[in-house]
Amino acid sequence: MIDLGQKSIVVTGGASGIGAAICAAAYKKGASVGVIDIDGDAALNLCKKLGRRAYCALGDVESESSMNAALETLSLNMPAFNGCVASAGIMPTREPMEEMPLENFKRVLENHINGTFITCKLVGRRMLKSGGGSIVTMSSVLALRPGPVLGYGAGKAAIKNLTQALAVQWGKKNIRVNTICPGWVDTPFIRKQEAAGRDLSPILNMTPLGRMASPSEIANIALFLLSDSSSAMTGSVSVADCGITLAGGYLPYGELPE
Ligand SMILES: NC(=O)c1ccc[n+]([C@@H]2O[C@H](COP(=O)([O-])OP(=O)(O)OC[C@H]3O[C@@H](n4cnc5c(N)ncnc54)[C@H](O)[C@@H]3O)[C@@H](O)[C@H]2O)c1
């Protein structure tokens, strides 16, 4: 039985999709929840819905000063951060390599790699002072089995590596760092693509469970990793993909919509 009572958990990208499901699930398990997002209105709305133990802060994970300010704001109500989930992320653009502007490649890498680096650095620094904690990063099955998509998979592979390097650095300092590799998860991230005309059926047909995961299924794994029930785990890679990495060939990514 997972108990997060007395814990304070901060979630980046907490206003939508997987991050929002983690906030809701952690709140339900008794935690105080700090929602950081670049979409301040959505973060505020979620906090209002959750209740009095939910606090929000506008923050851009790509900016150290913005994240510092967001964490300071949360600190007014959350004296220590016992857990953190770095869930903020953006989608890649669709160009083939020979036509891809470097800027588009960098955009995805900077959001994912710099965002995770800055989040882990600033939260980890506070955890070192307060005696430790548990950090969960959000990688992807594309870190394990590359598909044709550029930038996104490279960023997610870097997140996995950074997570494991931090697990080694901070192991004896009582900070655990683990990553989740979701496959396809039914979030606005994915639904926006479907609305823009992308056919997801070839992907779902290749998936052993025949479906996407729900955000709350990913949240359950995050809660376990945040909780003391996973106390022996650090540097671990939790694959939550409805079996899609077992599918043959490269991961079916398909065309991204215009
Ligand atoms: N949905 C999937 O199928 C899937 C699969 C594998 C991995 N992931 C990863 O899971 C994470 C969450 O994805 P999701 O599907 O919930 O997406 P989502 O778009 O629903 O939510 C992402 C959130 O991150 C926020 N965000 C983006 N850039 C930010 C920034 N610079 N600073 C602060 N907040 C920022 C957005 O405002 C949004 O609220 C992402 O890292 C994504 O790459 C998603």
Domain count, the chain: 1
Q: Among 36, 37, 73, say which to mutate for ligand 1: greatest number of ligand atoms within 8 Å of CB.
A: 37
Residues flanking ligand 1, CB < 6 Å: 12-13, 15-19, 37-39, 59-62, 87-90, 111, 115, 138, 140, 182, 184-185, 187-190
- 240 Cα to the center of ligand 1, angstroms: 16
* CATH classification of the domain holding 128: 3.40.50.720
Q: List the pLDDT tens digit at each of the 258 positions of the chain.
A: 788 988 999 999 999 999 999 999 999 999 999 999 999 999 999 999 999 999 999 999 999 999 999 999 999 999 899 999 999 999 888 788 999 999 999 999 999 999 999 999 999 999 999 999 999 999 999 999 988 888 999 999 999 999 999 999 999 999 999 999 999 999 987 888 788 787 888 888 889 999 999 999 999 999 999 999 999 999 999 999 999 998 866 676 666 555
198 within some domain: no
Determine the pLDDT at residue 256: 58
Per the structure, the complete domain to which residue 30 belongs is given by 8-184+215-233
Determine the pLDDT at residue 249: 64
243 within some domain: no
Determine the pLDDT at residue 152: 93
Determine the pLDDT at residue 93: 83
d(CA 114, CA 110): 5
d(CA 257, CA 94): 7
- 99 Cα to the center of ligand 1, angstroms: 25
115 within some domain: yes
User: What is Dmax (Cα atoms) for the chain?
Assistant: 52
Residue 111: closest CA among 143, 89, 142? 89
Determine the pLDDT at residue 258: 53
pTM exceeds 0.85 for this model: yes
249 within some domain: no
The CB-based long-range contact list for 158-162 (8 Å cut-off, 24+ gap) reads 158/109, 158/112, 158/113, 159/86, 159/112, 159/113, 159/116, 160/237, 162/113, 162/116, 162/117, 162/120, 162/137
Determine the pLDDT at residue 199: 83
238 within some domain: no
The residue whose CA is least distant from atom 14 of ligand 1 is: 17
61 within some domain: yes
From the CA of 14, give the closest atom in ligand 1. 39
Determine the pLDDT at residue 252: 65
Determine the pLDDT at residue 194: 81
Active site residue 253: no
199 within some domain: no
- 88 Cα to the center of ligand 1, angstroms: 4
245 within some domain: no
Helix (H) or strand (E) holding 86: strand 83-86
